[in-house]
Structure 1
């Protein structure tokens, strides 16, 4: 990116639009980064320009759909401190709490209530070998589960006022965010690991003040009943069963092509 200006890098970070007019795929997640503060985007751009160049020819991409650009609408400077405003900014621009722990019902987003079979695109993760993203899909991961699986995001509203986990201290929520340890112990009183799709591998270096701001925010949520049942459902090598569970219908030939299946 040595020939790119900082402004051009900021533009592609927040809108996915390259300086030659082409649009990037949905990684990085421009649905978050378009809300990034201009100051933060400039810091990232300056860091990228400081990296030494490495020659690595990249093969031409092949996509099942044409990606669309975003509109940058972040503030000039991000709010700071252990505040609700800071937590709201982080969740809107950089941290995917709302994206991974919410679902849609009849066109309405049910925030932080966890995933649901009613919404196959948000709060629902298809786990398996080399599954590509589908258009508009937010939840995706490939982790060492046996074959194919479907995982629904957990309900974070139980941490709020009147929720089943209202008494959980903020320090345990911070530990969950940054270390991947559940706020609850297992039946033997031992620490319980969170499924690997939780991104503590990235959040482990989050500043104390930011992690505490997020934990404080979650403690203010109003509990929402969302009985998902078994959150992790394993299907072994049966991709069709996993697809049926997620989308409520058998895969079409177009679905098979989009997922790279024969």
Structure 2
């Protein structure tokens, strides 16, 4: 298993432009996890200087809200503390339906409502990548919810196709929703969950961590949001993790991952953000 990081680095260097018809599931999964999906942004332990070396996807405390204290579980291939004994179908059910193999429900901030729209092709590609991650023995506490969880997140997910890249706005919506779940952090929280109907993209959510306190930005085309940024400005943010004036974007924004996105994916994401209804930032933000 020690060869896995070397293999992944090789894949990233040989296949920097994801999305070609010839890419394998592992190549696609490597790109997704290391770029827009950014699983490690929650599931890899973070220190003041970023991800903890040798702990990729080993789990950590993610959020401590009044409504819940959530821990991202260990999703390495460790058979005791991770998902090493789970089947591919069980992993897919956990990602898209929020159901563990024992039948219990996965709660927020895992964005199951969004992941239900992840395509069959992409969710299987992510599983292919997870199978290459070195096992790490790390027992993570169970999340504690002070709000009721639903009995399920919906009926079983059927067949889901990958949207065409020809429609930039539609594919950008797929990147911002089922894949990157940008709209989860950037839609104003109501009772601890994102309001993607009334406050889609309006931001204003506070996150505490080793970096201090950050507030999710308004990513709608409103003047409070990205209305004053050019497309080139937004590309700079994704590629460098800093605003055009040089100020860094704070965690939990997954800048270390988003800079690995292809130019085509970034352009599709920008096209989608431009299409959102312009909303003001929440009062007091």
TM band (smaller chain): 0.5 to 0.7
- Alignment pair present for 1:58 and 2:139: yes
For residues 164 and 3 of structure 1, what CA distance do their matches in structure 2 show? 48
The change in CA–CA distance for 1:217 and 1:67 in structure 2 (over 3 A counts) is same
Q: State the SS of the aligned residue for 2:278.
A: coil
The residue that corresponds to 1:7 in the other structure is: 89
Cα displacement (A) at 1:52: 4.8
User: Structure 1, residues 77-136: CA drift from partner, whole Å, max 9, x if none?
Assistant: 21142611111111221223322333379x851222332xxxxxxxx1142xxxxxxxxx
Paired residues for 1:100-111 under 5 Å: 100-103=185-188, 109-111=198-200
Q: Say if 1:38 and 1:76, in contact at 8 Å, map to a contact too.
A: yes
For residues 215 and 87 of structure 1, what CA distance do their matches in structure 2 show? 7
Q: State the SS of the aligned residue for 2:198.
A: strand
Q: State the SS of the aligned residue for 2:222.
A: helix
2:130 to 39, 43, 48: 48
2:160 to 76, 85, 106: 76
Cα displacement (A) at 1:24: 3.3
Q: State the SS of the aligned residue for 2:127.
A: helix
Q: Say if 1:175 and 1:181, in contact at 8 Å, map to a contact too.
A: yes
User: Structure 1, residues 30-76: CA drift from partner, whole Å, max 9, x if none?
Assistant: 2332221121111112222344545x262663624465442354752
Q: RMSD value over aligned CA atoms? A: 3.3
Paired residues for 1:164-179 under 5 Å: 164-165=227-228, 168-179=229-240
Gapped regions of structure 2 (runs ≥ 5)? 1-82
Q: Which has the larger radius of gyration?
A: 1
For residues 210 and 88 of structure 2, what CA distance do their matches in structure 1 show? 35
For residues 155 and 53 of structure 1, what CA distance do their matches in structure 2 show? 37
- Alignment pair present for 1:213 and 2:213: no
Q: State the SS of the aligned residue for 1:20.
A: coil
* TM superposition score normalised by structure 1: 0.60
User: Structure 1, residues 185-213: CA drift from partner, whole Å, max 9, x if none?
Assistant: 2xxxxx22223332212212122211110
2:221 to 139, 157, 177: 157
The residue that corresponds to 1:91 in the other structure is: 176
The change in CA–CA distance for 1:225 and 1:67 in structure 2 (over 3 A counts) is closer
Q: Say if 2:119 and 2:160, in contact at 8 Å, map to a contact too.
A: yes
Q: Say if 2:249 and 2:255, in contact at 8 Å, map to a contact too.
A: no
* TM superposition score normalised by structure 2: 0.56
Q: Say if 2:111 and 2:181, in contact at 8 Å, map to a contact too.
A: no
Q: Say if 1:40 and 1:77, in contact at 8 Å, map to a contact too.
A: no
Q: Say if 2:93 and 2:100, in contact at 8 Å, map to a contact too.
A: yes
For residues 260 and 183 of structure 2, what CA distance do their matches in structure 1 show? 20
The change in CA–CA distance for 1:159 and 1:217 in structure 2 (over 3 A counts) is farther
For residues 109 and 206 of structure 2, what CA distance do their matches in structure 1 show? 16
Q: Say if 1:35 and 1:74, in contact at 8 Å, map to a contact too.
A: no
